[in-house]
Structure formats: structure tokens, C-alpha cells
């Protein structure tokens, strides 16, 4: 009989299978899609931002931060980098701590991991949709959609993901099963997804990409803030700077939400100096802005502030300079919602960490059942944090199930 049955062959499921099989357990990996690692193959714009050197518990959104801290202390980014090197995936890091495979290819990563799974004797069953988990005298029976096949296993690792990005076959059809087995499901909502806004203010900014400070306000009060790259589109805003706030938009549907954007978060002092420098007094305001912003954005700011771009620095008053700086730091737009699961990288919600053992990821409610990855209520920002969680939680669940 199979010792460990793993449902889902994403990053978490693959890591679970590799770790459990390395420790000598007989493992079967069950995946509903025709190939494993489909979402993994598309991550990081195809480059696979696989972890982040700053991946610590305080970077994540979670209902049980103390439990998450205990889990993440077991596998640091350095531990994961060592594991990846061991399985044939050497990596490099950028100055800001983002870690990528040297190949810069997410599809290569998936192919290497598949090869390693086969080398370690993992039985891979593709196009196998598990629709139910039933307890048996020897452990669990995993039932398929057509009821023609079932798998008897001692332990189950549910690495079932979420409904985010269904174009790649994402689903989680087992939430009701987890509830029947006694677990709570916190509301599962789109996260790391673009934000839709009132289209009118930004219709002339389509395609502009820049680094910005972004605040999300509810009824005029700041809920959260980020700094990151944003992209103006015909329907709103994209990019990490807004995607990292999108779970809060999902959670506050129906509320009055506003985005406040500072489009010079890193250069305010330099711009202020140029506006007050005698050496730059004969330069036009438009030329000053073009030193910091794309042309479309410079024209937009001039329009919002009411200043003629042809005026020179010495021709405008201090009040007008203050108005210009205020406009640059306070571009506001009403939020209409998110672009939903179809355009989301992840979800928020799922199984709360309070219902699992931090040392093993085994269910506190149903012994022999383990969870890993996105099915758990853990959400990180853009930048490799969520793949770090998927891989490390998979490694912990796989190890725990194998040695049980």
C-alpha cells in the first residue's frame, strides 16, 4: 500500500513528493491536469522567482502569525536554495533579494523537478481528479471523479491549491471535503490580482509603468501601503505595487475604497532640490518632470496641477511648486474591485493554521491528513514569497508524513 498520497502537483505537491520519497516512503502524486507544475511553469513572468532572501513570517498575511513563524523557521531561504541546488536547480539572487534559477526559466524548473520525481520512484498519475477523501481502516481512500479508480494510502498531503488562474487548470474542488472532515474554510478570495478603478482619470496613461508608493484607503482612512512597480491600463492598475493590496480589495467588497498614489516615492528630495536650485531656474517645469517621469505621466501631472509646462522654474511661485509636489504625491482614484480569480496569481483564505500542527503541518482534527501550500491561509507579497511558502511547506509536510 502507498504510504503517502499527495493531491496536487504544483510546487507544494512536488516538494512533498521529493522529500517523502527521499526518506524512503512509497509515494503517489495525483494531478488533475495533463502535466504537472502548470502554474509553476508560468511564475515570475516565466522566469520563476523561486524564493526571496527576506522570506520571514512578518512579510506574510496570515490569521495565525505565531504559527507561521514556527513553520518558516524550519526552512529558511538559504535552506530552500540548498535544496534546489541538490535537485539540480542552481540559483542566483538580485540586489533586492529576489531569487531565480540560473536558467531564468520556470518551465525548465518544472521539467527538472519532474525528472527528479521519476528518478526517485514517485508514481505520477496525471489527469486524475480527486473528488473525495474517505477514511478507511488503513488510512484514507482517495476517490476520483469517474469513480472507476481509487487510491488507498496511509497518509494524505493536500496540496490542492486554489481557484486562482483557472486558465492553467487551477481549482480546489475539495473545500467541502475538508469541511466534512472537520476543518474550517476561511473565505477564499482573489489575491495578487490587478485592481479595477474608475477609468476616467487614467485614460491618457495607458501603458505607463513606474515605481510608486500606493496607499489603499477605506472611507478615507489608510488600510495598507506598498511601494512597487505599477502599470496603468485601460481598466485600472496592474503590477506588484497594487497587486500586493488586492486581497484587501477582495475582502472589502462593497466598501468605499480609494487608491492614493505617490509617483515619486524615491526622488522627492531630488525633485524639490531642482525646483529650488538657482542653477536650474531657467529650465521649464516640463523638462524637470521629464527627468523623473515618462512623457505621458509628466503631461498628466501638469494637467492635474494646472501648471503650463512651458513656464520655467523661476517663473512659478513657491505655492505653485508646493502644489506640483502635492499632486505628484497624491494621485487618487476610486476602486471598483479586482479582476477576479481569472487574473489572480493566488488566493487568500483557506484552512487556518490554527487547525494544523506547526511542527508537521498535520491536521489537528484528522490525524494522517496534512496540508501544504496555497490551500492554507498564508499569503505573501509579490517577489518569490509565495513560491517559498509552497516549497517549504511541501518539504515539511512530505518529511512529516514519511517519518510518521
Which CATH number do you get for residue 288?
1.10.8
Shared domain for 161 and 63, answered yes or no, is: yes
Task: Identify whether residues 120 and 245 lie together within a single domain.
Answer: no
- Which residue among 321, 339, 357 closes a domain? 339
Domain boundary among 339, 361, 387: 339
The predicted pLDDT at position 277 comes to: 76
Cα Rg, the chain, nearest whole Å? 24
Do residue 230 and residue 122 come from a single domain? no
Give the residue-averaged pLDDT of 12-32: 97
Q: Are residues 282 and 358 in the same domain?
A: no
Domain count, the chain: 2
**275 and 213 within one domain:** yes
Chain segment 202-257, per-residue pLDDT in tens: 888 999 999 999 999 999 999 999 999 999 999 999 999 999 999 999 999 999 99
Residue 320 and residue 352 in one domain: no
What are the pLDDT digits (tens) for 251-299?
A: 999 999 999 999 999 999 999 888 887 556 788 999 999 999 999 999 9
The CA distances from residue 363 to 40, 177, 397, in Å, are 26, 14, 11
Judge whether 210 and 294 are in contact, CB under 8 Å.
yes
53 and 159 inside one domain = yes
Q: Are residues 176 and 223 in the same domain?
A: no
Residues 220, 323, single domain; the answer is yes
216 and 292 together in one domain:
yes
- Looking at the fold, whether 258 and 156 belong to one and the same domain comes out as no
Q: Which secondary-structure segment (H or E) carries 11? A: helix 11-22
Q: What percent of the chain has pLDDT over 70?
A: 98
Q: What is the CATH number of the domain that holds 101?
A: 3.50.50.60
Q: Are 48 and 105 in contact (CB under 8 A)?
A: yes
Q: Which domain holds residue 42?
A: 3-190+340-402
Output the pLDDT for position 204.
87
- pLDDT value at 152 more than 90: yes
CB count within 10 Å of CB 395 equals: 24
DSSP class of 306: T
Please state, in angstroms and rounded to a whole number, the distance separating the CA atoms of residues 301 and 294: 11
- Residues 69, 142: one domain? yes
- Residue reference for cell 524548473: 109
Q: What is the pLDDT of residue 279?
A: 59
Q: Considering the entire predicted model, what is its pTM? A: 0.94
Q: What digits encode the pLDDT tens for the residues 337-385?
A: 999 999 999 999 999 999 999 999 999 999 999 999 999 999 999 999 9
Which of 306, 324, 339 is where one domain is finished?
A: 339
Q: What is the pLDDT of residue 43?
A: 86
pLDDT at 168 over 80: no
- Given a cut of 70, whether residue 170 has pLDDT beyond it is no
Amino acid at each position: 500500500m502507498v504510504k503517502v498520497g499527495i493531491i496536487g502537483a504544483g510546487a507544494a505537491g512536488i516538494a512533498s513528493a521529493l522529500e517523502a520519497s527521499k526518506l524512503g516512503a512509497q509515494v503517489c502524486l495525483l494531478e488533475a491536469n495533463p502535466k504537472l507544475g502548470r502554474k509553476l511553469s508560468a511564475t515570475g513572468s516565466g522566469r520563476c522567482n523561486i524564493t526571496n532572501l527576506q522570506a520571514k513570517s512578518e512579510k506574510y498575511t496570515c490569521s495565525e502569525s505565531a504559527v507561521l513563524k514556527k513553520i518558516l523557521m524550519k526552512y529558511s531561504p538559504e535552506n530552500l536554495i540548498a535544496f534546489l541546488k541538490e535537485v539540480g536547480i542552481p540559483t542566483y539572487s538580485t540586489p533586492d533579494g529576489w531569487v531565480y534559477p540560473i536558467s531564468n526559466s520556470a518551465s525548465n524548473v518544472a521539467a527538472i523537478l519532474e525528472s527528479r520525481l521519476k528518478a526517485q520512484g514517485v508514481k505520477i498519475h496525471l489527469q486524475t481528479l480527486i473528488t473525495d477523501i474517505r477514511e478507511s481502516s488503513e488510512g484514507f481512500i482517495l476517490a476520483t471523479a469517474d469513480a472507476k479508480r481509487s487510491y488507498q494510502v496511509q497518509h494524505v498531503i493536500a496540496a490542492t491549491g486554489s481557484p486562482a488562474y483557472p486558465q492553467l487548470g487551477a481549482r480546489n474542488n475539495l473545500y467541502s471535503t475538508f469541511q466534512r472532515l472537520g476543518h474550517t474554510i476561511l473565505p477564499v478570495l482573489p489575491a495578487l490580482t490587478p485592481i479595477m478603478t474608475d477609468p476616467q482619470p487614467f485614460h491618457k496613461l495607458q501603458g505607463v509603468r513606474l515605481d510608486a508608493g500606493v496607499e489603499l484607503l477605506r472611507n478615507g482612512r489608510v488600510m495598507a501601503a506598498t511601494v512597487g512597480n505599477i502599470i496603468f491600463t485601460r481598466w485600472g492598475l496592474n503590477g506588484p505595487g497594487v497587486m500586493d493590496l488586492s486581497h484587501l480589495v477582495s475582502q472589502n467588497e462593497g466598501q468605499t475604497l480609494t487608491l492614493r498614489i505617490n509617483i515619486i516615492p524615491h526622488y522627492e528630495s531630488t525633485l524639490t532640490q531642482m525646483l529650488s536650485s538657482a542653477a536650474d531656474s531657467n529650465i521649464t517645469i516640463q523638462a524637470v518632470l521629464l527627468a523623473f517621469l515618462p512623457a505621458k505621466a509628466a503631461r498628466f501631472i501638469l494637467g492635474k496641477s494646472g501648471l503650463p509646462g512651458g513656464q520655467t522654474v523661476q517663473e512659478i511661485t513657491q505655492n505653485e511648486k508646493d502644489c506640483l509636489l502635492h499632486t505628484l504625491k497624491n494621485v487618487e482614484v476610486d476602486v471598483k474591485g479586482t479582476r477576479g480569480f481569472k487574473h489572480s496569481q493566488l488566493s487568500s483564505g483557506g484552512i487556518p493554521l490554527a487547525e494544523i500542527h506547526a511542527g508537521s503541518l498535520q491536521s489537528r482534527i484528522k490525524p494522517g491528513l496534512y496540508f501544504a501550500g496555497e490551500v492554507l491561509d498564508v499569503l505573501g507579497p509579490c517577489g518569490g514569497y509565495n513560491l517559498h511558502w509552497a516549497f517549504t511547506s511541501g518539504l515539511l509536510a512530505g518529511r512529516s508524513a514519511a517519518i510518521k
